[in-house]
Amino acid sequence: MQEENNQVPGTEQPIYCWNYGAQSAYDRGAKPRRRRGALTFAIIMTVAFLVSFGVLIGVLVRFADQPALPDAEVVPSVISERVVYVREYDSESGVLTVPEIAEKVKPSVVGVKVMSATGMGVGTGFVIREDGYIATNYHVVEGALSVIVILYDGSEHQAEIVGGDALTDLAVLKIKGLNYPAVEFGDSSALLVGELVVAIGTPSGLELAGTVTDGIVSAIDRNVKIYDQTGVLTKRMTLIQTNANINPGNSGGPLINDRGQVIGITTLKITGNYTTSYEGLGFALPINGAREILTSIIETGSAGDGSSFATGRPVLGIKGGNVTRGQGYPAEGILVSEITPGYPVEHSGLQVGDIIVELNGIRVYTTADVNAITEDLNGGDLVTLVVNRNGREVTLELELGWE
C-alpha cells in the first residue's frame, strides 16, 4: 500500500489527523447489516459533535458578553525582590501593615553596645529627636563605662549619657550630628486591648539587630511589682502588657501601634522560675508618661518631680531587726534600732527601742511581714502601728515614705 503524504501546500510539516481505517466493511467481506451499524454510529457521533460544538459556542458567546475586568497589576511568577511602600496618612484609616510599620520605624531604631566593669552588654534604643537624642532603658546603660550606638546603616557612634532615672527605667543618650530619622509618637492612653502592636529591637546580640515581632495589646494599666534579687520590692509600675516577643536585648526599644507610632518602650518580660516558664508576657512603659520624663532629662538632666507610671517602694523609714520574748525582750516583733531622718516617721512619735507588733491590724513578727503589708500600699498612705514600749502597748499613726 502506498503511504499518503499529507502536507500543507508550501510547508514541509505533515497534517496529523485521526484515521479509524483505510478499508470499508465490504472490502473485508462483512454483511450489509454491519454497514448500517457503522452508519448509525457515525450519525450518533456526528450529532454528539454538533451538540458539543454548540455548547462551546454558547459558552464563548456568554463570556464575550461580560464586561471587561479592570486592568490588574501583572504579578510575575518569580519574585526576586520586594519593595515595601509606606502609605501616607491621608487615607481613611491610616492603618499600616506590619511590613509597612517595619519599613517606617526601623531606620529610627538603634543598637546600644555598653561596656562596663563586668563586661559588654547589648540593648536597644530609638531616635526621639533629629539632633541625635536617643531614648533607652536606664538598666541598659546603668554602670556603663562607655556606650556605642549602632545606627540602621551599621555605622557606630560614641554616645554621651545625658541622664537617667532608675525609678522609671528611662535614660537619654546623645550622639553628634543632625538629621537623624526620629520616630513619630502616638497616644498610649488611647490603646485598646487586642489591637496590633509591633516591637523592634536587638534580641540576644547585635547580629540580630532590627528584629521585628508583632502581637497585640494584652492589657493596659497593668500593675507590676518589681523585686530585687533578695525578693524585696523595689518599685511598682503601671505598664502596657503585650504578647509581642520581647527578649534580653530588646530593652529600650519601641513598641509601635498600627499607624507606625511609638506608644511604648519595651522594658521587661516575665520568664518564670526553675520549675515554670512563660511566653508572651512582655511589658512596655507607656509613652505618654515616658515622654515627660525624657523631656525633663534632656532639659534638666534629671527625671523631675514624679512619674505617672512608676512609684518607689513604700517604707516605714526605720531600721530594725527581729526579736523574740525569749531573748529578754518584752514582746516578739521588730525592734526599732534607727529612725531614718527625712522620712515622715521622724515626726510620728515612734522611738528607738520600740518593738513593732502590729501593722494595720495585722500581727507582725519579722521585717518580711512588714514588707508584705506595705508593698500593697503607696508612699503617703497612713498606717497604724502598735508597738510595745517597755512592756506597754502604744498605738501610733504615721505616713509611709518611699524610696
Cell of 322: 527581729
Neighbours of 270 (CB within 10 A): 14
Domain residue spans in the chain?
1-54, 188-285, 314-402
Q: Where are the alpha helices (DSSP H) in 212-352?
A: 287-300
- Write down the catalytic residue from 108, 139, 296, 348: 139
The predicted structure's pLDDT at residue 29: 43
Identity of the residue numbered 194 = G
Q: Out of 108, 218, 251, 296, which one is annotated catalytic?
A: 251
What is the predicted pLDDT for the residue at 255?
98
Grid coordinates 532629662 are at which residue?
297
pLDDT of residue 42: 57
Query: Cell numbers 507610632 label which residue?
Result: 261
> Would you call 91 a catalytic residue per the annotation?
no
Q: What was the pLDDT predicted at 31?
A: 44
The answer to whether residues 150 and 111 touch, using CB atoms and an 8 Å cutoff, is yes
Phi, psi (rounded to 5 degrees) for 225: -100, 130
Closest C-alpha to 224, from 314, 306, 284: 284
Amino acid at 379: G
* Neighbouring residues of 335: CB distance < 8 A, sequence distance ≥ 6: 320, 321, 322, 323, 329, 353, 354, 355
Cα–Cα dist 385/344, whole Å: 14
CB 195 within 8 A of CB 259: no
Q: What is the mean pLDDT of each run of 10 residues along the chain (403 residues)?
A: 42 36 39 51 61 54 49 49 58 84 97 95 97 97 97 97 96 97 97 97 90 96 89 90 92 97 93 70 96 96 87 91 88 95 93 96 94 88 95 95 84
Asked if the domains 188-285 and 314-402 are classified in one and the same CATH topology, the answer is no
Three-state DSSP class for residue 84: coil
Q: Which of 157, 165, 169, 258 is catalytic?
A: 169
By the 8 A CB rule, do 172 and 133 touch?
yes
**Fold entry, domain 314-402:** Pdz3 Domain (2.30.42)
**Pairing mode of beta strands 109-116, 144-150:** antiparallel
Active site residue 139: yes
Fold of 188-285: Thrombin, subunit H (2.40.10)
Query: Contact, 204 vs 234, CB < 8 A?
Result: no
Return d(Cα 150, Cα 127) in angstroms, integer.
11
